[in-house]
Amino acid sequence: MDNLENNENMNENIDETNENINEEAIDEAYEKEIEAEKLVEFDGESEGMELSKVEQEYGADEIQVLEGLEAVRKRPGMYIGSTGPRGLHHLVYEIVDNSIDEALAGYCTKIDVVIEKGDIIRVTDNGRGIPVGVNSKTGLPAVTVVFTVLHAGGKFGGGGYKVSGGLHGVGASVVNALSEWLEVKVCDGEDVYFQRYERGKIVTDLQKIGKSDVKGTEVRFKADPEIFKETTVYDYSVLERRLREQAFLNAGVHIELRDERDLENIIQNNFVYEGGIKSFVEYIHKKRSLEVIHPDVIYFASRNADDTIAVEIALQYNESYNENLLTFANNIHTTDGGTHEEGFKRALTYVMNDYARKFGKLKDNDKNLSGEDVREGLTAIVSVKLKEAQFEGQTKAKLGNTEVRAMVDRLMRDKLSVYLEENPAVAKVIFEKALASSRAREAARKARENARRKSPLDSAQLPGKLADCQSKDSSETEIFIVEGDSAGGSAKGGRDRRIQAILPLWGKMLNVEKARIDRVYGNDKLMPVITALGTGIGDEFDIAKLRYDKVIIMADADVDGSHIRTLLLTFFFRYMRPLIEEGHVYIAQPPLFRISKGKEHKYAYSDLERDQILAQIEGKTEVQRYKGLGEMDSEQLWETTMNPETRLMLRVDLSDAEQADETFTILMGDKVEPRRDFIEQKCKVCTESRCLIYYDKPKILKTG
C-alpha cells in the first residue's frame, strides 16, 4: 500500500509540474493528426450522405452470431434506457434504424411507420429484405437469427453494410424480447415469408405465404405491458419529431408516419427533404421564430480518402444568446457529443480567432475569443457516417472514434476559413456577435468577482432573507423559494427547521432568455438564488457544491405565480441545467380550497375536487378559497404544502433537452406569434380557478 501511495503522489507531482508541457505536446500531436487527414470532395446535396453503394452480396451467411437472448427481459433498461415512455418509443427507433441502414447502403428509399389501433406498430421499408436463407453457423433462417439471437446481425463486418447505426446486433432481438408479440414479413422479390414470435419465443416456423415481385421488410409488434408497466401508448409527436429528424439526415429518403388508432381521424405526415441538413437548420429557425443574422446556411461536406468516413456540416447564426448544436453519427443522435463534436468546436474557435487576427479584428493585446463566444446564437448540425462507428453503450449517446475528430476539424479549418474570406459581410456580423458575447462574459466575470468580494459563498455570508436549515447534510435538506415576504413568513414559521430552508423572493426576476449572462449577475432577484444554492452558474456550475437536495419553487396558484415559476425554470435550464437533469427541482402544489365542518378540515386542489368533497359531506360546511400562499397560516402551509408525509409536488423532469430548449425559446423569447400558437395548441383553459396551466406529463410525487 505504501508503494502504491508513493506512486500516486509521484504521479500527482509529475502532473502538476509538467501540465503545460503535456498540453503543448497534446496540441502539437493533434495538429499533426489534422494535417495528415486527407479529404475527398463530394457534393453532399446531390450525392446524399451515403458512402458508395455496397456491392457485396447480402446473404444468409452475412448474419454473424455473437451470443444468446433471455437477459433482455430481466434487465431491459440496459438495452433501451428505461421501461417508461422513453424506452417504449425506443422500440420503434430500433426497427426504423434498421430501415435507415438499408437507405445508407443505397437500397431503401421509402419507409412507412404506422400506429395501428391498440398501439401496434408497423414498420415497412422497400430495402433488400432481411435474408431468409439458412445461416450456416446456427442452422436457422437468417431472419430468425436476427430476431431471436442477441448480438446477431449483418453489421459486424460481414460486408452486408458499409455504414450502420446498429452495430451491436441487439436492436431487432431486443424489440422482439420486449414485445407481447412480433410478426415479420420479408419480400425477396419472388416470395413472401412470414414468422411470428411471442415475448421473444418462436411461435411459427418461417413460412412462405405468397408471391411478390417487390423487395422489403415489414415488422409489426405490440410492446409488452408486463415490461412497460407505466404505459404502452405511443405519443405521435415524439415519433413525428424523431422521424422528421431522420428525413433531414438522409436527403431524399421518404418517411411516412400515420396514426390509425382513430380511423375516423387519421393523422399523417410525410417527410422528405432534398436539402438534407441545410433544410434541418432552416426548419429549426423557422420553428422557433429565430431571426438569422446572415441569409444563407453555411454548408460543407467531404469524405476521407479510404471512403470509410463521410462528414456533413451545416450552420447558421441567429440573434438569440443560446447555441443549438446537434450531432449525429450514422443517423444516431449523439446527445452526449463525442469526437465529432469536439472537432467541430475546436475548429470553429480556431478559425474565428485566426480570421480575427489575420484581418485585424483582434489586436495583439486582445484576448482570443472563447468557444462560448463564437457559438453564441449558433445553430449547427454535424452529421458523420462511418464504417466502424464506436459508441458508448447500446443507447449510443457518445461517439468515440478519434479519427473523426481530426477529419471534422480539418474540414472546418479548410472550408470555413475560405468561406469567411470570400464572404466578408457574413464574417463581419458573425464576428461582431462573438465579440459582443466576449464583452458580456468579461462584464459577467467582473460582476461575479464583485459579488464574491461583497458576499463570499459561505454559510456566514448567505442572502439576508434566507432562513437556513440546521442540517449540513445536503442529501436530506431542501430549500423553498417562496413568492413574497408574507408567504415567506408563514413558511418560516411552519417549516421543519432541521432540514428545510426558506428563501423569500419579492417581484419578478429577469427573463434570462432575453439577456446575456452579465445581466444575471446584476439582478437582485437571481443573485440570492445563486448564492443560496452555492453551485455557481454557467461554466462555473458545480453540482457537488449544491447545498440542498431539493430545490422547491413555491408560488401562488395564479397567473403571476405561474409566471414566476416559468422565469425560475428558464433560469435553471439555461444556467443550472444539471439541477433539472439530476432531479433536484420541484414545484410545490398548494391547495386552492379548505373545506371545514366543525373541527374537521379537508383540502382541494381544484374546483372539481372541491365539488367532490362537498358531495360527500352532509350538513353545513365552510369553504375557504386561498387567493395566495400568504392567506395560509404556518400550520396550514405545513400541513398542505411542506410536510414530506402529506404534500403533493411536481418533479421537473428533463426527458428531452432538445424539446425543452425549443419550448423555452418559444415561450420566453421575443416573438409573440409562436408563443400564442403554442398556447393555443398545448394549453388547456381551465374551468377551474387556476386559469391557464400547462404541464407536459408532470411527475406527481406524494412524497418528500
Choose among 689, 633, 328, 360: nearest CA to 491: 633
Which residue among 45, 50, 62, 556 is the active-site one?
556
pLDDT exceeds 60 at position 6: no
For residues 340 and 505, which has the higher predicted lDDT (pLDDT)? 340
Query: CA 314, CA 301: separation in Å to the nearest integer?
Result: 9
What is the helix (H) or strand (E) element at residue 2, kind and residue range? helix 2-17
Choose among 601, 630, 627, 589: nearest CA to 490: 630
Q: If DSSP codes are grouped into helix, strand and coil, which group holds residue 511?
A: coil
Terminal-residue alpha carbon distance, the chain:
43
Residue 599 has what pLDDT?
Answer: 78
Query: CA 679, CA 671: separation in Å to the nearest integer?
Result: 13
pLDDT exceeds 70 at position 142: yes
**pTM: predicted TM-score of the whole model, two decimal places:** 0.71
Residue 595 has what pLDDT?
Answer: 87
* 10 Cβ neighbours under 8 A, 6+ residues apart: none
Q: If DSSP codes are grouped into helix, strand and coil, which group holds residue 284?
A: helix
Query: CA 456, CA 485: separation in Å to the nearest integer?
Result: 24
Query: CA 590, CA 580: separation in Å to the nearest integer?
Result: 21
Confidence of residue 138 (pLDDT cuts 50, 70, 90): confident
313, three cell numbers: 456540416
Which residue among 119, 372, 496, 558 is the active-site one?
558
pLDDT exceeds 50 at position 27: yes
627, three cell numbers: 387567493
**Taking a C-beta distance cutoff of 8 angstroms, is the pair 120, 221 a contact?**
yes
DSSP-assigned states of every residue in 542-575: -GGG-S-SEEEEE--SSHHHHHHHHHHHHHHHHH
* 61 Cβ neighbours under 8 A, 6+ residues apart: 133, 135, 136, 137, 158
Query: CA 49, CA 87: separation in Å to the nearest integer?
Result: 28
Identity at 689, one-letter amino acid code: S
Query: CA 498, CA 641: separation in Å to the nearest integer?
Result: 17
pLDDT exceeds 90 at position 29: no
Choose among 598, 594, 588, 599: nearest CA to 626: 594
Q: If DSSP codes are grouped into helix, strand and coil, which group holds residue 341?
A: helix
Q: Give the model confidence (pLDDT) of 53-107 as tens digits.
A: 655 666 666 655 434 567 788 888 878 888 999 899 999 999 998 898 888 888 9
**Taking a C-beta distance cutoff of 8 angstroms, is the pair 72, 174 a contact?**
yes
In angstroms, the Cα distances linking 188 to 24, 59, 204 are 57, 11, 19
In angstroms, the Cα distances linking 701 to 569, 646, 647, 651 are 18, 10, 8, 7
For 68, what's the count of Cα atoms within 13 Å in the CB-facing half-sphere? 2
pLDDT exceeds 80 at position 675: no
123, three cell numbers: 414498420
For the chain, give the mean pLDDT. Answer: 82
Query: CA 69, CA 171: separation in Å to the nearest integer?
Result: 12
647, three cell numbers: 404534500
Query: CA 361, CA 642: separation in Å to the nearest integer?
Result: 56
In angstroms, the Cα distances linking 458 to 180, 438, 449, 454, 462 are 56, 29, 15, 12, 6
CA dihedral 441, 446, 448, 450 (to 10 degrees): -170
Q: Answer positive or negative: Cα dihedral of 511, 512, 515, 518.
A: positive
In angstroms, the Cα distances linking 225 to 88, 122, 151, 180, 343 are 10, 18, 24, 7, 43
Which residue among 101, 125, 373, 483 is the active-site one?
483
Residue 191 annotated among the catalytic residues of the structure: no
Residue 560 annotated among the catalytic residues of the structure: yes
219, three cell numbers: 415488422
Query: CA 648, CA 631: separation in Å to the nearest integer?
Result: 19
Choose among 334, 376, 375: nearest CA to 351: 375
For residues 14 and 400, which has the higher predicted lDDT (pLDDT)? 400
Residue 483 annotated among the catalytic residues of the structure: yes
Identity at 174, one-letter amino acid code: V
Q: Across the chain, how many H-helices and E-strands are there?
A: 23, 28
pLDDT exceeds 80 at position 331: yes
For residues 4 and 195, which has the higher predicted lDDT (pLDDT)? 195
Which residue among 119, 235, 256, 560 is the active-site one?
560
Beta bridge partners of 126: none
